[in-house]
């Protein structure tokens, strides 16, 4: 065989990796110091076409830029989630240690769909999931799997629900010949739940919205009528979905009465706790998720309130046997058909045939930092949500949309004698993004535009939030 080409030899040279790695960690550590000390903008806003023009689509035959030069450009153009004035989407400022573990997992590249490819990460995943299930109040027979995000997680849970409740072997026989199916979801449910229902073949007509109250929480007393409405259309309801920390407002639905309703009617009770399930880690706020352990399935994102890089989502099942029913399918070259209980082969239970070493990242975070740190973090961020709400209540020119359940707060700037308040919120946000002083988002509640913050960076302080209000006033008056 010919000698290894020089380009390939250089690409896999351990000493080059050592030099580049040391330089990159130094570069990232300097970056981390700067942004955590509030240096520079939170984001360097640019229009999409302008940013596209900055990145060439023509690549050289021979090595071009260095890793250091490339990362300088990437860091300069990226959003800075570790900046304490990042209060935008529900994507956390990851633990620096998790970034290092992520580096190791990327180099090892041990896919965790089957045990022979993931002999370390598969057992780590099982141990970490058992801990999460225990925190959620699930029984010893609970089980689950890690997957790539809440959208896939909710789909996985509802696939299992359809298989368990409808009594149909959908994988082999399809949906034809039976009643059309339906699920009940709160008005405020995340769009991915409705998307999952449509992927399952329910169509728009199979999604029935449960009214919410003035605090955007599911109204349990509306469940019987919503269920009856679905049945009058000739559909078979098989699941009810509730939220533990909804996306728009962070609302926690009352889970106990929903669990009662589902038990009475033989329905699957699923909780989308992508954001708020971590409340169970805080002794101060665990009451928000009372009844969580009665759900048949739960989705919990570790990349939100457990400080991990995206995406790491736990899908937990109260009865672990149900976790094998979402993707009960033959793949003889990898898996034995019907091999229920083979926890070491997660491909039985996930959409992914190749899966990152998510278990390593989650297990390492818990082992390196201890569980108390995560409890303290959740408590701190939920406390800060209430503090910010009090600041808004005390200000004459701001209006709080709803008292927050967690660390998501929605509000409006309402200066005197201002007519177009919806347009004003949009303009204020656009100006803040353009100058890079804060990154916040917006949502629509009760038909009107509201500003929305997710207080997810552990370094954000009351002073930062006071600065946000002053910045809104400043750009709002210009």
Check residue 331 and give its pLDDT. 37
Q: Cα(160)–Cα(320) distance, rounded to whole angstroms? A: 11
Question: Binning pLDDT at 50, 70 and 90, where does residue 190 land?
Answer: confident
Q: Is the pLDDT of residue 22 over 60?
A: yes
Q: Could you tell me if 146 and 129 are in contact, meaning their C-beta atoms sit under 8 angstroms apart?
A: yes
* β-bridge mates for residue 248, sequence order: none
Q: How would you list the strands of the sheet with 236-243, edge to edge?
A: 143-147, 313-317, 297-301, 268-272, 236-243, 181-186, 207-210
Q: Cα(376)–Cα(68) distance, rounded to whole angstroms? A: 36
Q: What is the pLDDT of residues 193-219, one digit of tens each?
A: 888 878 888 888 899 999 999 999 999
From-to residues of CATH 3.40.640.10 in the chain: 106-369
CATH node for 106-369? 3.40.640.10
Q: Is the pTM of this model over 0.75?
A: yes
Q: Is the pLDDT of residue 330 over 70?
A: no
Reported as half-sphere exposure (CB side, CA atoms, 13 A), residue 235 has a value of 22
* CATH label, 372-476, candidates 3.40.50.2300, 3.40.1280.10, 3.90.1150.10, 2.60.40.10: 3.90.1150.10
Taking residues 290-313, report their average pLDDT: 97
Q: Cα(284)–Cα(323) distance, rounded to whole angstroms? A: 31
Tokens representing 381?
């961020």
More confident residue, 38 or 177: 38
Taking residues 462-475, report their average pLDDT: 98
Check residue 167 and give its pLDDT. 75
Q: What is the pLDDT of residues 105-143, one digit of tens each?
A: 999 999 888 889 889 999 999 999 999 999 999 999 999
CA 317 to chain centre: 18
Task: Give SS3 for 340.
Answer: coil
Q: Cα(430)–Cα(45) distance, rounded to whole angstroms? A: 10
Check residue 444 and give its pLDDT. 95
Q: Cα(337)–Cα(324) distance, rounded to whole angstroms? A: 11
* β-bridge mates for residue 444, sequence order: 449
Q: Cα(195)–Cα(446) distance, rounded to whole angstroms? A: 22
Check residue 177 and give its pLDDT. 67
More confident residue, 327 or 285: 285
Torsions phi, psi for 280 (to 5 deg):
-65, -15
- Listed residue (299, 295, 254, 297) closest to 273, CA to CA: 299
- Containing H/E element for 159? helix 150-166
What average pLDDT does the chain have? 92
Q: Could you tell me if 267 and 165 are in contact, meaning their C-beta atoms sit under 8 angstroms apart?
A: yes
Q: Cα(114)–Cα(161) distance, rounded to whole angstroms? A: 24
Question: Binning pLDDT at 50, 70 and 90, where does residue 300 land?
Answer: very high
Check residue 332 and give its pLDDT. 40
Q: What is the pLDDT of residues 356-365, one digit of tens each?
A: 999 999 999 9
Check residue 326 and give its pLDDT. 80
Its sign, for the CA torsion 286, 290, 293, 296, is: negative
Q: How would you list the strands of the sheet with 398-400, edge to edge?
A: 398-400, 408-413, 448-454, 441-445
Check residue 150 and give its pLDDT. 87
Check residue 250 and give its pLDDT. 96
Q: What is the pLDDT of residues 133-142, one digit of tens each?
A: 999 999 999 9
From-to residues of CATH 3.90.1150.10 in the chain: 372-476
Q: Is the pLDDT of residue 313 over 70?
A: yes
Q: Is the pLDDT of residue 439 over 70?
A: yes
């Amino acid at each position: 065989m010919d000698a290894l080409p020089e380009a390939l030899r250089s690409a896999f040279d351990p000493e080059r990796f050592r030099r580049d790695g040391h330089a990159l960690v130094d570069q990232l550590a300097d970056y981390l110091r700067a942004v955590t000390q509030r240096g520079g903008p939170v984001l360097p806003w640019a229009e999409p076409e302008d940013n596209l023009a900055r990145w060439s689509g023509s690549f050289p035959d021979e090595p071009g830029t260095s890793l250091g030069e490339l990362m300088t450009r990437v860091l300069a153009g990226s959003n800075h989630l570790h900046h304490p004035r990042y209060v935008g989407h529900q994507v956390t400022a990851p633990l620096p240690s998790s970034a290092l573990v992520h580096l190791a997992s990327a180099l090892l590249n041990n896919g965790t769909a089957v045990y022979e490819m993931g002999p370390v990460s598969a057992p780590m995943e099982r141990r970490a999931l058992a801990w999460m299930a225990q925190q959620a109040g699930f029984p010893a027979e609970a089980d689950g799997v890690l997957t790539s995000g809440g959208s896939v997680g909710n789909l996985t849970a509802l696939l299992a629900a359809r298989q368990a409740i409808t009594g149909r072997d959908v994988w082999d026989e399809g949906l034809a010949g039976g009643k059309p199916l339906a699920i009940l979801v709160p008005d405020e449910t995340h769009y991915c739940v409705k998307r999952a229902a449509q992927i399952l073949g329910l169509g728009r007509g199979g999604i029935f919205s449960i009214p919410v109250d003035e605090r955007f929480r599911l109204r349990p007393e509306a469940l019987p009528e919503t269920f009856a409405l679905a049945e009058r259309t000739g559909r078979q309801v098989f699941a009810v979905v509730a939220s533990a920390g909804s996306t728009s407002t962070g609302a926690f639905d009352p889970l106990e009465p929903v669990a009662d309703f589902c038990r009475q009617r033989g329905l699957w009770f699923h909780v989308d706790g992508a954001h708020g399930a971590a409340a169970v880690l805080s002794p101060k706020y665990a009451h928000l998720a009372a009844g969580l352990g009665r759900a048949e399935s739960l989705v919990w994102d570790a990349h939100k309130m457990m400080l991990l890089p995206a995406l790491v989502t736990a899908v937990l099942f109260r009865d672990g046997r149900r976790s094998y029913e979402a993707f009960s399918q033959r793949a003889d070259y990898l898996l034995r058909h019907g091999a229920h209980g083979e926890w070491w082969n997660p491909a039985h239970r996930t959409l992914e045939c190749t899966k990152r070493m998510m278990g390593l990242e989650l297990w390492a975070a818990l082992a390196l930092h201890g569980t108390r740190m995560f409890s303290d973090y959740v408590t701190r961020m939920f406390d800060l949500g209430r503090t910010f709400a009090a600041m808004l209540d005390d200000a004459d020119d701001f209006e709080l949309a709803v008292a927050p359940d967690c660390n998501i707060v929605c509000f409006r700037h309402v200066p005197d004698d201002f007519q177009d308040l919806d347009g004003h919120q949009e303009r204020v946000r656009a100006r803040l993004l353009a100058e890079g002083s804060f990154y916040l988002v917006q949502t629509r509640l009760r038909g009107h535009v509201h500003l929305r913050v997710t207080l997810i960076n552990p370094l954000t302080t009351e002073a930062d939030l006071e600065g946000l209000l002053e910045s809104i006033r400043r750009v709002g008056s210009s």
